[in-house]
Amino acid sequence: MMNKIFVFILFTLVNVYACAQDTIRISDFGLKPDTHENAVQIVQKALAFAKIKPGAILVFPKGRYDFWPQYATEKMYYESNTDVIPLRRCAILLEDLKNLTIDCKGSDFVFHDRIQPFTIDKSQNISIKNVNIDWDIPLTAQAEILDVTDKYIDIAINVLESPYTIENGKLVFIGEGWKSRWHGEMEFERETKFIASQTGDWGCLGDGSQNYKAENLKYGVVRLNYAFKRKPAKGNYLVLRHSARDHAGTFIVDSKNVTIENMNMYHNGGLGILSQYSENLTFKKVNCVPNTNKNRILSGHDDGLHYSNCKGQITVDSCHFLALMDDPINVHGTCVRVMKKKDDRTLLCKFMHDQSIGFIWARSGEKIGFIENEAMNTFGTAIVESFRSTSPELFEIIFQEPVPTTLVEGNALENLTWTPDVEIKNSFFGSNRARGILMSTPGKVVIENNVFESSGSAILIAGDANGWYESGAVTDVLIRNNIFKDPCLTSMYQFCEGIISIYPEIPKADAKKPFHKNIRIENNEFHPFDYPVLYAKSVDGLSFTGNTLIRSYHFKPYHSRKATFTFDACLNIEVANNKFDGEILGKNIKLINTSTKNLKIGKSQGLVLEK
């Protein structure tokens, strides 16, 4: 505790020393690994020093560092697809920084309570590498299923990392500054670590499961008394979901040229890495996976890598995702609804998804698209003159030119400037709740050399301006050389109509003017156990060529869609040069609102066409 004077002296010494070279050691500021003391304040000092030393490398000697909310900067951030709370606790905040590398040398950064490990705000040329992010007491719990009967299920909870209590018969987890009731669960198979098939968002305990009555057999073993309508398997694991989605693992906002490499994100309190209004983002060997050293099956609280309104080049290379409680990758923009046309250049608009509000949605000079609500066609664009928030939900936008005269209240706007090119390669999408990749950007998209064991669809290309208000239409997507293994689509989640599901939410799809364009699915390997491989709605230009489909029998077919391929309101489709190994189910093409002249089937495909 007398260290403060010592730190001050060292700080002065470091001052002299570090001017001579670029490496700043956190130990020079008085922070040693493995002490369990709160690192927050000392890291703040080191970052303040880094600010006056552009180009520096901040090094953490390998070890364990602990971060507590005390002294963490609390900032008002509107974080996309995240609960709105007054202040976010930023454990390590890089703000207005340029040209900084943080090399953690393989250290464990252990966080406590609800907190955001890294925040990169208004910064450029930032690199973070070689770090493991975890919590001693995670914000999600897990249990091993000890016994399953018609009347109850017994579960074992590691009380060292998930202390709990039972209140009014309900299981309530207790952490470092919070108490949180169990509200949902996912079942993972003991050996494979797959989400149990035909569970997913259908649930693994059946309807009414939250009417259970918990009973403590001993501290760490809980009997859930209820005649569960679906029964999980003895020996499997349950991830017990609780607590809010209130902090990202890493939040990148208003920043440019950010590289994250060799990061094991073993846990977090929301989205893994949330990038928002940022440009040129490279994530290599970022793993959102369970910490197997701790016998964990749980990993991140929600999504893995979430990109909201980004631009430039997004690269995801050699990343792993397992046991997340939401999609590993989600790339999208944010649509807003026109509430009022104040004059021919001025619109009052509203954010429509209550977790995505309060953004500076546009800046002068940015290009905005106008979208009608039925076929979701873009019927015009205009350039922004000014933007003004009037409340967290509402803003006024003025354009440099008159908006289209056909625009009516209820139409949607899309910001076409904040749309990135995306490359996702060499990555592993294990069994996570929901889909593998959600992709909604008009930029150039390449998804290649990945392996998918997704519980739901491996890839979902959605886009809507009616429900989630996540834009936008794709125009150039290449999906090649990936392996879609048989766990893909073993469970159901929203919009999962095929291993690859192209499912924009369009109230009245216009078959003449499809929403999405130019999607090529080439040279991939699929291992379907069920019918739907590809479902596509409202696409102009869709090829499925050179792929190999190999029938799997590892799972029981269940999907209501009994077609290998479904094309709904599409133009210019090609299915050619694919190989079909084994008794592929259906081996059929279902056309809906799509004329056969728009479908080109290659030679020897042996597919049955259904209308």
| Cα–Cα distance list, 169 to 166, 238, 555 (Å) | 6, 19, 36
Nearer residue to a copy of itself within complex by CB, 134 or 486: 134
Q: Does 79 bind a copy of itself (CB under 8 A)?
A: no
Select from 47-55, 64-72, 142-150, 288-296 the region that touches a copy of itself (CB under 8 A): 64-72
Query: For 15, which DSSP code?
Result: H
Nearer residue to a copy of itself within complex by CB, 295 or 596: 295
Stated length of the chain:
611
Q: Does 156 bind a copy of itself (CB under 8 A)?
A: no
Q: Does 34 bind a copy of itself (CB under 8 A)?
A: yes
Q: Judged by CB under 8 A, which of 11, 178, 379, 387 binds a copy of itself?
A: 178
How many amino acids of this chain bind a copy of itself (CB under 8 A)?
33
Packed helices 3-20 and 40-51: angle between N→C axes, nearest 10 degrees: 30
Asked, as a colleague might, if the bond just before 269 is cis with ω within 30 of 0, I would say no
Touching a copy of itself, residues 255-314 (CB under 8 A):
none
Touching a copy of itself, residues 502-521 (CB under 8 A):
none
Q: Does 161 bind a copy of itself (CB under 8 A)?
A: no
Q: Does 354 bind a copy of itself (CB under 8 A)?
A: no
Q: Give me the 237-266 binding string for a copy of itself, x by CB under 8 A, dash otherwise.
A: -------x-x--------------------
Q: Judged by CB under 8 A, which of 68, 283, 515, 565 binds a copy of itself?
A: 68
- Containing 170, the helix (H) or strand (E) segment is strand 170-174
Q: Does 76 bind a copy of itself (CB under 8 A)?
A: no
Touching a copy of itself, residues 83-142 (CB under 8 A):
83-86, 112-113
**How many C-alpha atoms does 4 have within 13 Å on its Cβ side?**
3
- Containing 403, the helix (H) or strand (E) segment is none
Q: Does 610 bind a copy of itself (CB under 8 A)?
A: no
Q: Does 66 bind a copy of itself (CB under 8 A)?
A: yes
Measure the CA–CA gap between 586 and 580, rounded to whole angstroms. 11
User: Pairing mode, if any, of strands 421-425 and 444-448?
Assistant: parallel
CB 348 within 8 A of CB 323: no
For residue 565, how many other CB atoms are within 10 A of its CB?
A: 27
Q: How far is CA 520 from the centre of its chain?
A: 23
Nearer residue to a copy of itself within complex by CB, 93 or 397: 93
CB 535 within 8 A of CB 488: no
CB 572 within 8 A of CB 542: yes
Q: Does 52 bind a copy of itself (CB under 8 A)?
A: no
Write out the two tokens for 356: 């995505």
Select from 82-90, 269-277, 365-373, 437-445 the region that touches a copy of itself (CB under 8 A): 82-90
Q: Does 221 bind a copy of itself (CB under 8 A)?
A: no
Write out the two tokens for 493: 């989640």
Measure the CA–CA gap between 211 and 90, rounded to whole angstroms. 37
Q: Judged by CB under 8 A, which of 11, 27, 37, 404 binds a copy of itself?
A: 37
Q: Judged by CB under 8 A, which of 160, 166, 217, 227 binds a copy of itself?
A: 160
Smallest distance, a copy of itself to C-beta of residue 332, A: 25
| Tokens 């933007």, residue located | 387
Residues lying near a copy of itself in the complex (CB under 8 A) are found at: 1-2, 4-5, 34-38, 66, 68-72, 83-86, 112-113, 159-160, 163, 174-179, 219, 244, 246
